[in-house]
Amino acid sequence: MKFARIAGTGSCLPGSPVSNEDLVARGIQTSDQWIVERTGIRTRHLAHEGLRTSDLAHEASQKALASAGIEPNEIDLVVVATSTPDCVFPSTAALLQSKLGITNGAAAFDIQAVCSGFIYGLAVAEKFIRSGSHRRALVVGAEIFSRILDWSDRGTCVLFGDGAGAVVLEASDEPGIIASALHADGRHHEILCVPGGVALGQVTGDPFLRMDGQAVFKFAVKVLGDVVHEVLQQSGLTTAGVDWLIPHQANIRILQATAKRLELPMERVVVTVDRHGNTSAASIPLALDLAVRDGRIAKGQRVVLEGVGGGFTWGAVLLQF
């Protein structure tokens, strides 16, 4: 066993698409034109009140397990990347493990790296598998960001959506993950954050997402370009050797600027931000599942996944599908 490779993918989008016009109808002082021109977002999905993050993770995971042809109890590691867990504790991963009926004592924990969380989770799970301690991991990105949005702040509430994506990662002699890089720079924690917390029976501080959009934009474009070069260098490849780029889906202009910096045509970039909005840790596995299921990503192709998010955190994974 030399590699950890993706054996199956799945995803979940709650309810029907909510259009920009729907947001206007709900009283948000915005327009379809403003949102499309600045972000490329046309629709997003919003979870109804009764749903929890572990429910979305559960549906995505069931589909990933089915596509891998694996029973839940063959999983020995459950990693959930989320910034919107069901509760303070236990972890959403432990709740997911229970919902899936995994009773074999598989390790389960959450990863908190905001929109880079799935990349962090994938890189961590790969290291568990390559070390020989675990054989099959379920790695999930799941979010209900609509619960941490200030719906009176039109500068942020139009940008995000809810959803989940999952992969089964397993030990293999065939190439899978080839290279990965993870980074953080906590000095920039204030440009994208939910500053509040829970203490003494109360929410303390501001419980909503706050963002300096222009600072985030500049930071994201720089680090997304750099980190792709880093994983390519590790593996002796150039962008010519990459079939698909799946960036975190924050904003079409960030995706276009990153593709331009990498000299990659947009035809080789998987774009879902127009339909999903920004689903934070879920955005990359959602886009991956979509492109696998519609036949764009085929076995043997090389794919770079890359994320950037609050912290600030960023990272990339280069893999052969």
Catalytic site residues? 115, 248, 278
Give the range of 30-38, 180-188, 236-244, 257-265 binding ligand ACO by CB under 6 A: 30-38
Give the range of 40-48, 141-149, 154-162, 256-264 binding ligand ACO by CB under 6 A: 154-162
Residue 253 beta carbon to ligand ACO: minimum distance, rounded to whole angstroms: 6
In the region spanning residues 283 to 312, those forming contacts with ligand ACO, defined by CB under 6 A, are: 308-309
Give the range of 48-56, 65-73, 210-218, 293-301 binding ligand ACO by CB under 6 A: 210-218
| 177-184 and 136-144 beta bridge pairing | unpaired
Residue 115 is a binding residue for ligand ACO (CB under 6 A): yes
Q: What end-to-end distance do the CA atoms of the chain give, in Å?
A: 16
Q: What is the pattern of x (binds ligand ACO, CB under 6 A) and - over residues 161-200? A: -------------------------------x--------
Residue 154 beta carbon to ligand ACO: minimum distance, rounded to whole angstroms: 4
Beta carbon nearer to ligand ACO, 14 or 310: 310
Give bridge partners of residue 247 from the DSSP assignment: 306
Binding residue for ligand ACO (CB under 6 A) from 251, 258, 272, 320? 251
- From the list 245, 300, 234, 301, the residue with the least C-alpha distance to 271 is 245
Tokens linked to 256 = 């276009």
Q: Which residue number is nearest to ligand ACO in terms of Cβ?
A: 213
CB of 92 closer than 8 Å to CB of 53: yes
Residue 288 beta carbon to ligand ACO: minimum distance, rounded to whole angstroms: 17
Beta carbon nearer to ligand ACO, 80 or 250: 250
| 43-44 and 107-111 beta bridge pairing | unpaired
3-class state of residue 183 by DSSP: strand
Residue 19 is a binding residue for ligand ACO (CB under 6 A): no
Burial class for 103, CB neighbours closer than 10 Å (0-12, 13-18, 19+): exposed
Residue 159 is a binding residue for ligand ACO (CB under 6 A): yes
**Considering CB under 6 A, how many residues would be counted as binding ligand ACO?**
25
Q: How far apart are CA 112 and CA 162, in angstroms?
A: 17
In the region spanning residues 52 to 91, those forming contacts with ligand ACO, defined by CB under 6 A, are: none
Residue 4 is a binding residue for ligand ACO (CB under 6 A): no
Beta carbon nearer to ligand ACO, 192 or 319: 192
Binding residue for ligand ACO (CB under 6 A) from 39, 43, 92, 180? 39
Residue 281 is a binding residue for ligand ACO (CB under 6 A): no
Beta carbon nearer to ligand ACO, 179 or 308: 308
Contacts (Cβ under 8 Å, ≥6 apart) of 55:
99
Q: How far apart are CA 186 and CA 310, in angstroms?
A: 9
Torsion of the alpha carbons at 256, 262, 263 and 266, rounded to the nearest 10: -40
Binding residue for ligand ACO (CB under 6 A) from 67, 278, 313, 320? 278
Mind giving me the DSSP string for 38-88?
Answer: HH---EE----TT--HHHHHHHHHHHHHHHHT--GGG--EEEEE-SS-SSS
3-class state of residue 30 by DSSP: coil
CB of 227 closer than 8 Å to CB of 316: yes
Contacts (Cβ under 8 Å, ≥6 apart) of 185:
311, 312
CB of 108 closer than 8 Å to CB of 78: yes
Binding residue for ligand ACO (CB under 6 A) from 17, 175, 196, 213? 213
Chain residues in the site for ligand ACO (CB under 6 A): 30, 34-35, 38-39, 115, 154-155, 158-159, 192, 211, 213-214, 216-217, 220, 248, 250-251, 253-254, 278, 308-309
